[in-house]
Each structure stands twice: as structure tokens, then as C-alpha cells.
Amino acid sequence: MQNLNPQQIKAIRHTKSPLLVLAGAGSGKTSVIAHKISYLITKEHICPKKITAITFTNRAAKEMRERIKKTLGGSKEKPRICTFHTLGLTILRAEITLSDYRSGFSILDSNDTVGIVTELLRKEKRIGDIAPILVQYRISSWKSLFLLPEEVIVDKERPFDALCLAVYANYRETLLTYNAVDFDDLIMAPVKILSENNVAREKWQSEIEYLLVDEYQDTNAAQYKLVRTLTNGRQNMTVVGDDDQSIYGWRGADPENLNQLQKDYPTLEVIKLEQNYRSSGSILKAANALIENNPHDYPKKLWSENGFGDPLRIISASTEHDEAERIANDILHRQLLKREPNGAFAILIRSNHQGRLFERALLERNIPYTLSGGQSFFDYAEIKDCICYMRIIANPLDNNALLRILNVPRRGIGTQSVKSLVEGATKLDLSILETTENTDFLDTLSPNIAKNIGFFGRWIRSLREKSLACDPDVTLSTLLDDIGYEDWLATNAEDEKESERRNKNVQELLSWVQQLVKKDTSIDLSGVVSSLTLFDIIERQDNEKNSDSVSITTLHAAKGLEYANVYIAGFEEGIMPHRNSTTEIEIQEERRVAYVGITRAKKNLTLSYSRTRKRYGQIEPCEPSRFLEELPAEEIQWRSGNSSQTSDKKVGLETIAQLRMSLGNQK
């Protein structure tokens, strides 16, 4: 424990009562948990197998195991390090005879559950006007509160909630019929078992002699009930959390669970970890100033011995394109000037859709990047479809590409027909595309299927012939029009917003192809496909190898990570805070989201906002985030695009003044 501070050591050695460790960002909480487990084993002589530490992610569990391995050395017996859902699954499997399920039950993923909800809505004849995923979210929120259908009370004047409740009851029955559980059931089912069966409860309380819970502020009601049931008010518990980093309210997380501990565990000890080992003083000053505007039952203030460091910078960009360009240029400048590696930089965004412009800006500068917290551009189904169409037109031997788009949009070529087509190609030793026009093969099919397959083959061949005489972007545009892809996306989208998003992605791809043609007028379709594929392959290789690359990640996904240089983009009203956050409680959570983003930075922090932004085809003015007013103005450097730093500062002060006036008028 040589490198630990007094508060950390106090938290590690405290075992005589339940303990809440309020661990600020970058305060070394993982190290505390690892050392405490070692202390419990070596000093308190608790059997490792009797210790359970719960995390929220597999990544956190892996990191904790590695830390514990270092502290314990080569001990054969290991403590249980797992996620809430893994522990729930372990209990459910062990006590399956006490549950509503049978052994061999299936675990459904989100696609499966949304599919079931879709079918239930179809039976209710509501599939056209309600997005199934929204219904699934509402069901999940009830489950996170540990509410069964018969326990949910809804307002009769809110028809959406009434519909969701009706679907919830049928949804639960469907899962029981399928002998299947969803993600929420992995907490609900074990809690139900332990609450109702004294023998099982005592068994698992004995099994877990000491319980540690990481990121406790992210627990929902059901998870808190599981912790309460396993500990039963005993002294054998340490929870580590930070109410200032509770940012998952949308999935049921309740920071009030931290306050509830004092009521449920009267002898609870509270230890604060306020020394930050990550960030410079200027960054912590900004973070403290921001989060002080939220109410606190346990106030704390982060401090550091790392020195004050560089001041916070704010970039005021003219458009979202300008914002992306300026951040990409700044990264390039710092790389060249200070020789910093790509991995030292992160661009944090509020929503996934913001990432596209940054991807493009970094690609154009040959700066490798990794996109996390959302899909890569090339992972979207509509982009895969378009690229596969271009691949098969450029290379008729590309069987994999053909199989993906053979029935997209639907052409009446079913699974059995595809199977026959593949078998026929193998038998005739031809490519699948060649087989679509082979009369010997087509004669083995029904007239209607043969017609559909033959038409597809001829159409692809005609597009290939046309592509030899026109630019690649024209070919892509032509094939999209031929198949009515925009209409097909609209028909198969969950709602209008998804349809708009998917079509926007297709238009973005078309724009990329146009740019490639503009840069190289001699490039053909094969060259375009090669360029796009290379972008995709490099990106995947970087992800797989965790190589040196700039991170583009959502603020939520960045939690728990750190970077030398952090850029938080879209620091403006409607994005930060989000336009859907209107109540004071929601604004407080948005402030915590911003706080999490700020505290990811080690040395340099830059916030950026756009003065105008394109929304639904219209250029709209934007206001800087109200959170900028809450930052220490004297520690801010403004970058408005003017050459003069004095002018930048003037613009910044004027912006803040206008913001204060605007917010004052809204009150």
C-alpha cells in the first residue's frame, strides 16, 4: 500500500460496518477495490471464493481481475469478479427449480425482444403507429423497478402506457412459453427466488461472505434489491460510487440508491476519495465549478498534485463542418508540434450521428481513428448493402457480396431458392451471378422463381455494362433509383427518424463517392470500391489490434476512460444539454454527462460548439450550452476563428453575456 493515500488506505482497512466509498473521477477506485480484496483475504482471512465483486461491464471486470492478480500473486483460489447479470445468471441456473423457468432456458438479445414486441403489437393492430423499441424500453423500465405486469399502475389518460402494459403482460407470457429470459430477467428472476425462498436466500448469503459493488450510482431498483437481499443488512459490504457520474438514468439507474444506503444501513460509514491522479488543476477547477450547480447530499471537491496545466479552450465554429475541420486540424497540429501519438486524442460526442463528420475529417487527413460507443459508418446495414451492390457490379465473381443483396429489397427469392442457387453454382462450377442466367439451372426451378432470379442476373449485367461508360457515383445513384432503395428503407424502418437517418447515411456514402471521383477523375467503380473497402479494413484492424488511433466516442461510452487531449464537440443547447432534457432532474443528469466528459482529460481540454447547424435540410442558428456560463471564465481561452486572442476573448465574453441574458429571459 505504499503508493496509496490516507483515505484510500482507510477505505481498504474498514471492515467493521457497511462502507460507501465516494470515489471521484480519477481517484483510483479500482486500485482500492483490488487492494481491499487482497486485504480481506490476507488480513481478515476470508476465503477468496466467499468474496464477490460486482462490476457493470466485462471490461471493468477484466481490469479488476488483472489488478487483483498483481496484489495476490499466484494464489490458486480466486474471488468471484463478475457483472450484475452474470451473478444473476449464476443464481438462476443454480436455483432453476425454484423459478418460473426450466433448465436449458434461452437468453434473448435486444433484437429478439424487439421482434417479440413487434409481433405482439401486430396482434394489437398497432404496428403502424408505435415504434416497437419504445414499447420495449418502457417494459424494461418497469422491470428495472422490479415491477411485474400486475404491479404496474398506469394513468388511464395515457394510452401509450396502457398499451405498453397490455403488451408487457403478453410479453411475459410469451417468454415463459419460449422458456426464455431477457436481460432484465437475469436480475428480476434471482431476486424473486431469494425473496420468496428462505433456504435459497440463506445459502447465497453464506456463499457471499463479503460483497463489493463498483459504480454503485449506476444501479437500478432491481439491482439494489439484489444487493439488499444478499447482504441482509449485515456489515459485509463495500460499495464504491460517485453521484456526480450517474449518467444512465435513461436505463433505470438511480443515484438516489446512494442516499438510500444510509436509511437501509444505519451504521454505514462514508469515506470520500477526492484526490485525482488523472487531470491537471485547470481541468479539475472547471469540473468542480460545473458540478457544484447540482444538489449534493455528499459534496466533494476534486484536487490534484499534477500542477495547474494549460487553460481550458473553447472553439466557436461557424458550422458543424467547420467544427469538425478545426478539431481535426488541431489534432494534426498537436501531433506535428508535440509529437503526440494518435491514441492521446479523443473526440467526445453526445450522440452517434455527430461522429460522421469527424470520421470524414480524420480520414481526409490520414489520421487513424477508432469509433466506439456507436457503429462505424461501414457497419450500418444500408452502407453494407450499397457497397455490396457496387462490389458485385465491379466484380461478378464476388459471391459474398451477391448473397447479401440478392433479396434486398425483396424480389421473391426465398431462402430455399437461395440454397438451390448456391448448390447449382457449385454443381456447375460457376459464380452465383453466372448461375442466375444459366438456362440449365433455371429450368430446374418453378417458372416464377426462375423469372425473378433471371431478371436479377440480367439487371446486374446491364448495370455493369453501363458502369464502364459512366462515373461511379452515377452508377450508385442509378442502382439506388432502380431498386427504389429510399422507399424500401422507409417501409422497413421503425419510424420516420430511423428512415431519415438511414437515408442520410446513403446520401453521405454517395457524397463520399462523389468526392473520390472529384479528386481522381480517372477512378472507376472498382477503384472506388477498393478505396472504401480499404477504409473499412484499416478501421477494423485498428479496432482489433487496439492500435494507436484517435478515439471518437460518445460521452456515455467514454466513462471510465482517460486521454491526454480531449475534445467535447457540440457543446451547445439542444445537444448539451440534450433537447429532450427539459426537467430540472434531466438537466442535472446532462450536467453530470458534461462532467464525465471533462474529467476524461488529463492534460488538455477543448470544448467546441457550432453557431449554425443543419437540421432537416434547414440551416438553424445555435446557442452555446448554458453549462459554459458555469465554468470559470478567467481560465478559458476562446478560439472563434479570429486571429487576435484579445478578439477571441471579447467574443467569448460577449457570448457568455448573451447566454446569461437569454437564460434569464427564459426563467
Distance separating alpha carbons of residues 347 and 608, to the nearest angstrom:
10
Distance separating alpha carbons of residues 328 and 318, to the nearest angstrom:
15
- Secondary-structure percent of the chain, ordered helix, strand, coil, rounded to 5: 55, 15, 30
Query: What's the CA dihedral at 43, 47, 53, 57 to 10 degrees?
Result: 120
CA-CA distances (angstroms) from residue 414 to 351, 419, 448? Answer: 37, 9, 12
Minimal CA–CA distance to 278: which of 647, 653, 602, 624?
602
Distance separating alpha carbons of residues 386 and 382, to the nearest angstrom:
6
Distance separating alpha carbons of residues 420 and 49, to the nearest angstrom:
55
DSSP lists the bridge partners of residue 614 as 619
Cell readout for 163 is: 398499451
Cell readout for 615 is: 437540421
Q: What are phi and psi of 133, to 5 degrees?
A: -65, -30
Distance separating alpha carbons of residues 118 and 116, to the nearest angstrom:
5
Q: What are phi and psi of 357, to 5 degrees?
A: -65, -35
Distance separating alpha carbons of residues 484 and 533, to the nearest angstrom:
24
Tell me the catalytic residues.
Answer: 29-30, 214-215, 245, 600
CB neighbour class for 586 (10 Å; exposed up to 12, middle 13-18, buried from 19): middle
Cell readout for 628 is: 459554459
Chain centroid offset of residue 457 CA? 40
> How many CA atoms lie less than 13 Å away from 34 in the CB half-sphere?
20
Only one residue has cell 428503407, namely 489
DSSP-derived letter for residue 473 is H
In 227-308, the DSSP E strands lie at 237-241, 269-273, 275-276, 303-304
7, 274 contact by CB (below 8 A): yes
Peptide bond into 577 cis (omega under 30): yes
Angle at 76 between CA 72 and CA 80, to 5 degrees: 75
Cell readout for 351 is: 450522440
Element (H, E) at 55: strand 51-55
Element (H, E) at 112: helix 110-123
Element (H, E) at 213: strand 210-213
430, 437 contact by CB (below 8 A): no
DSSP lists the bridge partners of residue 83 as 55
Distance separating alpha carbons of residues 316 and 398, to the nearest angstrom:
47
Number of Cβ atoms within 10 Å of the Cβ of 288: 20
3-state secondary structure of 439: helix
Minimal CA–CA distance to 636: which of 395, 397, 248, 289?
289
DSSP lists the bridge partners of residue 345 as 565
Give the chain's radius of gyration (CA, Å): 28
